[in-house]
Amino acid sequence: MVTLLAGRDDDLLVVPGLGSTAWDLAAAGDNHRNFYLWGAMGGAAMIGLGLALAQPKRRVAVITGDGEMLMGLGALATIGIQRPANLAIIVFDNGVYGETGMQPSHTQSGVDLLKVAGACGIGTCLDLRDEAGLADLAKRLKGLRETLFARVLIEASDPPRVLPERDGVVLKQRFRASIGIES
C-alpha cells in the first residue's frame, strides 16, 4: 500500500474495501480523503463509482480484496458501462476470505477477475505481481485518464491490524470536509 500511494496528492480519493485493505491503508497513513467502509461488504466499487461521477475532477481509487470484489461483481458491469475516466479499481487478490477465517475464495478455483472486468467493458486491465508493478500503477494513478482495473496478486497472511476510525458519522464528515463539501 505504501508503494501504491507514494507521493499521493490532494486529488486522489481512496475507498478501501473491508478487512485487510482498510487496515493496510490505515497503516500506510490515515488520510481524511480515505472513505473507510464498515459493514458494507461488496459496496466499495459502487461507492467509488458514485464518487468518480460526482467528483469528475478528482481521481478515485477503490482498493479492495478479492472476497469483496467477488461479492460485488455486478458493480464491474455498471462501471464498464459508465467508464469514468477518473476511476481505478484495484483488487488485492490473496485467494482467501480473510475476514471470515481464511477460507479459499473463488479466485483459487479459477474465477479470473481480470477477464470479468474486461468482459464488463473495462478496457485497461492490469495483472500485477510485484513491487515494480505497484510502482507503475502508482504512476498511472497520478495521470489517470481512463477507467482502470488492476488485480494485485499477493500472499495470504494475517499481519497485525491497524484499525482506522470506526465511527461512520465522523468518517463521513471528515471526508466531506476534505473535499470541500459542508455537512
pLDDT in tens, 113-142: 999 999 999 999 999 999 999 999 999 999
- What is the DSSP-derived secondary structure letter of residue 34? B
User: Three cell numbers at 135?
Assistant: 510502482
Reference 91, options 109, 67, 65; nearest CA is: 65
Contact 1, 133 (CB under 8 A): no
User: Three cell numbers at 36?
Assistant: 473507510
The CATH class for the domain spanning 12-178 reads: alpha beta
3 state DSSP class of 62: strand
**pLDDT for the residue 6:** 84
For 79-122, give the DSSP string.
HHHH--TTEEEEEEE-SEEGGGT-EEPGGGGT--HHHHHHHTT-
Annotated domain spans of the chain: 12-178
**Range name among 46-60, 65-79, 98-112 with the lowest pLDDT average:** 98-112
Mean pLDDT (the chain) is 89
Question: pTM value?
Answer: 0.87
